[in-house]
Amino acid sequence: MTLPSDDVEASAADDRADRKFKIEASDETFSFETIQFRDPIVTAAQIAESVGAHPVIQFKILQQLSSGEIETKRPTETTDLREVTTKRFFVIRSDRTFGFTIDGLAMEWPLGSIVGKHLRELAKASEHQELVRVTAVGFLPIDNDDIVSFEEPENEEFRLVDRPLTVTIFYREEPFEVERRQWTTEELLGLFEVPAGYKLDLIEASGEFKEMKPGHKIKVRNGMEFTSHVPVGQSS
């Protein structure tokens, strides 16, 4: 049976009324929640209010575009959710933003630092890619637990590069090419053929020695240096 035209229009109107437009929103913790709107066109202020950000003037609202770039939205600026492919927003308490690039893409973040794993997520890095910071002395890899600062001028450019399968580490200045992964203290002791009873030390960037405890796991980086020492109370 064919419905009268008025009934068809009314049914279509009901379908539109029932339709909901979804976005994913988070603060700096990257704990996203799904927010629904009935109106397909929303302001940045409405997005902020939907996650309890009051007063909105104290927050920055950012959108990650389908290109991967991140831009700040003014409170009165609208977004048509019907036209947006990537519906991912951040609402973070701040009064400023820091600009940087990843592979030439313009990015913004409203805090002076970010955790490495979150920066990798913003960069859409795959498990086969490494995120590096471009510095005057070369590329500096960013690990998941690193705290990356945006407050220094040399920290404004980042790139994604193919992740190498091996790295070169040093034991008492002797190079060892090893698989890029987590190694235990015991594995490294065996690799370096450290004398029985000796303790293994990681030489940190500051020059300090950090003794590696039994069972400890460490993700090796290119250029890491190690040494060993006789336990306290024993003669060499």
Tokens of 44: 């940045």
CA distance 43 to 52: 15
Residues 151 and 217 in one domain: no
User: Do 156 and 172 fall within a single domain?
Assistant: no
For the cut 90, the answer to whether the pLDDT of residue 97 exceeds it is yes
pLDDT number for residue 93: 98
Q: Which domain holds residue 116?
A: 102-163
**At which of 163, 180, 208 does a domain end?**
163
Tens of pLDDT, residue by residue over 4-34, are: 555 545 444 444 556 799 999 999 999 999 9
Q: What is the pLDDT of residues 171-215, one digit of tens each?
A: 999 999 999 889 999 999 999 999 999 999 999 988 999 999 999
Question: Same domain, yes or no, for 198 and 180?
Answer: yes
Nearest-angstrom CA–CA distance, 179 and 201: 19
| In a domain? residue 8 | no
pLDDT at 13: 47
Question: Alpha-carbon Rg of the chain, whole angstroms?
Answer: 26
Residue 71 sits in a domain whose CATH number is 3.10.20.90
Q: List pLDDT tens digits, range 42-91.
A: 999 999 999 999 999 999 999 999 999 999 999 999 999 998 787 999 99
Burial of 210 (0-12, 13-18, 19+ CB in 10 A): middle
Q: How far apart are CA 86 and CA 63, in angstroms?
A: 9
Same domain, 137 and 154: yes
Number of compact structural domains in the chain? 3
At 163, the pLDDT band (50, 70, 90 cuts) reads confident
Cα–Cα dist 105/111, whole Å: 18
Q: How many CA atoms lie within 13 A of 57 on its CB side?
A: 0
Q: Does residue 151 carry a pLDDT above 70? A: yes
Is residue 74 domain-resident?
yes
Amino acid residing at 58? Q
Task: Answer with the one of 140, 163, 186 that is the final residue of a domain.
Answer: 163
Residues 154 and 174 in one domain: no
pLDDT score, position 32: 97
Beta-bridged to residue 140, according to DSSP, are 133
Q: Which residues contact 85 (CB under 8 A, 6 or more apart)?
A: 66
pLDDT at 123 over 50: yes
Going by DSSP bridges, is the β-strand pair 98-102/105-109 parallel, antiparallel, or unpaired? Answer: antiparallel
> Are 90 and 137 part of one and the same domain?
no
State the pLDDT at residue 222: 87
Regarding whether 137 and 77 lie in a shared domain, the answer is: no
Q: Has this prediction a pTM greater than 0.75?
A: no
Residues 153 and 202 in one domain: no
In a domain, 115, yes or no: yes
In a domain, 235, yes or no: no
Structural domain ending residue among the three candidates 95, 117, 136? 95
Indicate whether 77 and 136 sit together in one domain. no
Identify whether residues 144 and 191 lie together within a single domain. no
pLDDT at 154 over 70: no
Are both 158 and 171 inside the same structural domain? no
